[in-house]
Amino acid sequence: MAATNQKVSNHVPDDIVFSIFSKLPLKSVNRFTCLGKSWSTLFENPYFINMFYKNIVSKHHSLYDEACLLLNYFDSTVNQWKLYLLFGERYENKLQIKLPHPFDGNRGYYQTVSILSSGINGTLCICDNNRGLTNALWNPATGEVKIIPQNKARLSYGLETHFNIHGFGYDHVRDDYKVLQYVVYIGDDCYSVAPPGPYWEIYSLQSNRWKKLYVDMRQRYLTSEGSMVYLNGVCHWWGNTYLMGIPSETFVVSFNLANEVPVTTLFPFDLHALKRFDRHLTMLNGFVAMIVTYEKTSPSFHISISVLGEPGVNESWIKLFDVGPMSGIDHPIGTGKKGDIFLRKDDGELACLDLTTGVMENIGAKAAEFRSQIVLYKKNIIPIRGIKN
């Protein structure tokens, strides 16, 4: 066979690069962007970002197998907390679920019932006022409820005590459910912090006890809805750093329930320069994601979605989606199973936005401001493990 002097091109067409890279895990794509100038700007290319986002939401994830959604909200039309099971292709079917005692009955706007993060093996962690007054593990399928005991030692100082729940999750190593919280004792002037707090503590279902944690980590933003999420043995929450009393940066803390070690990731996008914005930490098809609704020109809003590639690596945040302007939007309340975004509108109506089509549909519920959440849930009839009530 005769030799040829024809040169072989080293150039790979962009459409082929985009097609290959859009199917890779986010962590792998981030590593490839360090190899060359042309690849370093992948996530600045709208065409590639759109491909990558569609692949993320279209990939099968076991988290969603036989899963449905729970809508927990304060119905402003009747001044009552309600819990619904949402199912169907467009969540068109609703089934009301009665909250267990002591969370049932008539409760006002300030008597918040919060579901922490998401359901784990069919078990939910719900709390009253999100201040640690009453915490319970609940299996809606069986009706089983386990009240988490208060730590008597922390109540013996005779001081006003605030309990700020930061997460509920599953320790895969020890086969144990855990609840994490921040304890603060309030001084006589109602503003100062009194000793021996503040400190962290963690509850173990297996031992049925609280244990003090000697760890240095930042606390989450005050409100409960949209400030924390659980994924694969790690509790994540977001908060602010302050400069001269003014919020300056947003960060996400990721706390591993197995080794009890936290890592902090700064959210790199400058939010505090915006006129008005809201943040919501959630899960998007196996990724920790931050949804931001922000105002550019009143009264129009934009919605952006960023995912975290690797906790502890600030540069691994990738902004996948930015849509707008849109009118009538108040704040996000969660995500669905296919990348749908659930929002509260200015008139109180709750709606589902399909980002692939841009279609927004009301779901037939009206909620008070910052009193609604969407939670992923899988039915499971296995009893809550641990010490029996």
What angle is formed at CA 311 by the lines to CA 35 and CA 245, rounded to 5 degrees? 115
The model's pLDDT over 366-379, given as tens digits with 9 standing for 90+, comes to 887 778 899 999 99
Sign of CA dihedral 339, 238, 43, 56: negative
Nearest-angstrom CA–CA distance, 205 and 137: 10
Amino acid 37 reads K
pLDDT above 50 (res 387): no
Percent of the chain with pLDDT over 90: 25
Q: 72 CB contacts (<8 Å, ≥6 apart)? A: 81, 82, 83, 113, 114, 115, 372, 373, 375
Does residue 4 carry a pLDDT above 60?
Answer: no
Say if residue 386's pLDDT is above 60.
Answer: no
Would you state the pLDDT for residue 28?
64
> Whose structure tokens read 């109506």?
349
pLDDT band, very low/low/confident/very high, at 156 (cuts 50, 70, 90): low
Question: Residue 194 pLDDT > 60, yes or no?
Answer: no
Q: Residue 339: which residues within 8 A CB-CB, separation 6 or more?
A: 53, 56, 57, 284, 285, 355, 356
Q: Which pLDDT score is estimated for 388?
A: 45
pLDDT attached to residue 120: 92
Could you tell me the two tokens for 232? Answer: 């694969």
Does an H or E element contain 200, and which?
Answer: strand 193-204
Q: Cα 378 to chain center, whole Å?
A: 17
Q: Which of 176-180, 185-189, 281-285 has the highest mean pLDDT?
A: 176-180
**Among the listed ranges 38-47, 97-106, 314-323, which one has the minimum average pLDDT value?**
38-47
Q: What would you report as the CA-atom Rg of the chain, rounded to the nearest whole angstrom? A: 23
| pLDDT(1) > 80 | no
Helix (H) or strand (E) holding 217: none
Which of 102-106, 178-182, 205-209 shows the lowest mean pLDDT across its residues? 102-106
Q: Is the pLDDT of residue 141 over 90?
A: yes
The two tokens of residue 309 are 């590639």
pLDDT band at 270 (very low <50, low <70, confident <90, very high): low
Strand-pairing partners, residue 242, are: 247
User: In the prediction, which pLDDT does 66 show?
Assistant: 82
pLDDT over threshold 90, residue 25: no
In the chain, alpha helices (H)? 14-21, 26-32, 37-40, 46-58
What is the arithmetic mean of pLDDT over 91-96?
A: 87
pLDDT of residue 17: 64
Question: Hey, what domains does the chain have and what are their CATH numbers?
Answer: 60-378 (2.120.10.80)
The full DSSP string for 322-338 is EEEEESSEEEEEEE-TT
CA dist 273 to 251, 293, 308, 328, 332, Å?
A: 16, 14, 22, 22, 20
Whether the pLDDT of residue 15 is over 60: the answer is: yes
Summarize pLDDT for 327-357 with one digit per residue, the tens: 888 888 999 887 788 999 988 888 998 877 7
